[in-house]
Structure 1
Amino acid sequence: MKRRSFVKNNFALGAASAFMASAIPQAFGASGSPDANTPGTIVHSVYFWLKKGISPSEEKEFLKFFEALRKIPGVKSLTFGKPAPTTKREVTDNSFDYNLIVTFARMEDINIYETHPEHLKAAGEFSKYWVRVQVRDTMIG
């Protein structure tokens, strides 16, 4: 009796796992992350240079800015990080402190995002932590 229950439970678990695994590539692309390679996707890359001398707690507070932006309608994906420790080359600029990457399905979505009250409010609240911001937007072709 225990063997039948074990086999039955493991079969159900295996079937559920197979279903989930087949759904993930369709929802997120083959890489397991939101598909930013879809033609027409807007990739909004924002580079931040933080003020010198901010404390670790202030830097942690600054990161709440990204979480506030995540809630804005039209955001397809949002991720952020620090510069990668890549080989120093003349064409590489790792002088920034954080990079924010937000993707949007359509131009209309980024246009709403840029002027959304929550975006403007968050930028006003957290701008005290940075000295420079640089934006680069790309439309995937």
Structure 2
Amino acid sequence: MKKLSRRSFLGNTTLLSFTGLLGLMPSLYRGRQEQKKVFIHHVYFWLKNPDAAADKEKLVEGLNTLKTIDVIRTAHIGVPASTNRDVIEKGYNISWMLLFDNLEEEEMYQKHPVHLKFVDNYSHLWSKVVVYDSVDI
């Protein structure tokens, strides 16, 4: 049996490791492609009384009740940022952004009793609502 030198052993080991990694590349890439796509539901609220802090607090209180709906992956309540560029819409008072795994889960959210109760209990606070739904491409 031929004895391998340390240099030869390390060289062969490195080559084998690299070859193995190349063999895994297609499956790693395929795994990235097969990641769940995200459904984003972004709602912008214009309050009837935009200067009334109590109305803003009440709407935020209502939005927080929606976070209990189990199909929501991520929820975010926000206000306009202090950024200033011509393309930025800052006329809304509160934004509500939700991430779902798919359209079906967003539709479940729309029909959920907690969501329906939210609309009944808090819709008197807003004068306008604009919704942007988007999906990964």
TM-score, length-normalised on structure 1?
0.67
Q: Which residue does 1:140 correspond to in 2?
A: 136
Q: What is the Cα deviation at residue 66 of structure 1?
A: 1.1
Write out per-residue CA displacement over residues 86-129 of structure 1, whole angstroms, 9 at most, x where no aligned residue: 1231x221111111110001221101001111101111101111
Equivalent residue number for residue 130 of structure 1: 126
CA contact (8 A) 1:54 1:129 kept: no
CA distance in 1: counterparts of 2:107 and 2:53, whole angstroms? 33
Indicate the RMSD between aligned Cα atoms, in angstroms: 1.5
Measure, in 1, the Cα distance between the counterparts of 2:51 and 2:120.
18
**Structure 1 runs, 4 residues or longer, greater than 3 Å off:** none
Note if 1:106 corresponds to 2:102: yes
Q: Which residue of 2 aligns with 1:64?
A: 61
Q: For residues 63 and 50 of structure 2, what CA distance do their matches in structure 1 show?
A: 21
Question: Equivalent pairs: percent with the same residue?
Answer: 26
How many residues are matched? 103
TM superposition shift of 1:72: 1.1
**Contact kept in structure 2, 1:39 and 1:140, CA below 8 Å:** no
The 1-side partners of 2:51 and 2:112 are apart by: 28
Distance 2:70 2:103 in 1: 13
Which residue type is aligned with residue 80 of structure 2?
Answer: P
8 Å CA contact 1:44, 1:101 repeated in 2: yes
Q: What are the ranges of 5 or more consecutive residues in structure 1 without an aligned counterpart?
A: 1-37
- 5+ residue gaps in structure 2? 1-34
CA distance in 2 between partners of 1:58 and 1:51 (Å):
9
1:46-61 alignment, distance < 5 Å = 46-52=43-49, 55-61=52-58
Mapping for residues 112-123 of structure 1, pairs under 5 Å: 112-123=108-119
Following superposition, the deviation at residue 54 of structure 1 comes to: 5.6
CA spacing shift, 1:100–1:47, aligned 2, 3 Å:
same
